[in-house]
Amino acid sequence: MNAHIQRLIRLVAPPQGAARPREWGDVARELGIRLPADYRELIDTYGGGCFDNYLWLLEPDCPKRPYDLLSSVEERNEGFEMLWEEGEEKPAQLLEAPESRLIPWASTDNGEFIYWLASTGTHPDGWTVMVNEARGAWWEHFEVGCAEFLVSLLAGEIRSEILSTSFPLPDHEFRSFASF
């Protein structure tokens, strides 16, 4: 088991029975790209849901469309295409590596999105994290994968200036989509 997932389990117990088996090969075919192992393990352990009433972990084939990974990828790509055609500046990391793409894996109650910076030629397990403000062009880049980013946020080891100052909560919780 991934060390960051093990730490996360010690911080926030996964709900019983919330995770359901995934056919990750089907997800990879639909996206046209394989997802990082830590994310697959995170979903296989927790399923989709919400950490500390704020950060929503997107999952493939989520019955709640706003939190479906596959729908979010499509919607975010369309949105970026429109914004960038209208002149909004791309994040520096995409300008430096134009063959890279952004793939959302989490969102927040405030409308921020958390992405992988998926660089061509980089194995998915080497993708790093980007955070985008809800309605603007402010971006943060973190040189870690999604599981390390999540557990480090919850443990107070890293801080995003974009995400809410009320996150994380002092006592962590995870609610699966099944509980809503």
Mean pLDDT score, 21-38: 92
- 17 pLDDT more than 80: no
Q: Using pLDDT thresholds of 50, 70 and 90, give the confidence band for residue 7.
A: very high
In CATH terms, 3-179 corresponds, of 3.40.1580, 3.40.50, 2.70.98, 2.60.120, to 3.40.1580
Quote the CA–CA distance of 180 and 167 in Å, as a whole number.
20
Q: Which of 79, 29, 48 is nearest to 174 (CA)?
A: 48
Mean pLDDT score, 39-43: 95
Local structure of 154: helix, strand or coil: helix
Q: Using pLDDT thresholds of 50, 70 and 90, give the confidence band for residue 18.
A: low
Q: Using pLDDT thresholds of 50, 70 and 90, give the confidence band for residue 180.
A: confident
Q: Which of 1, 20, 40 is nearest to 124 (CA)?
A: 40
pTM of the model: 0.94
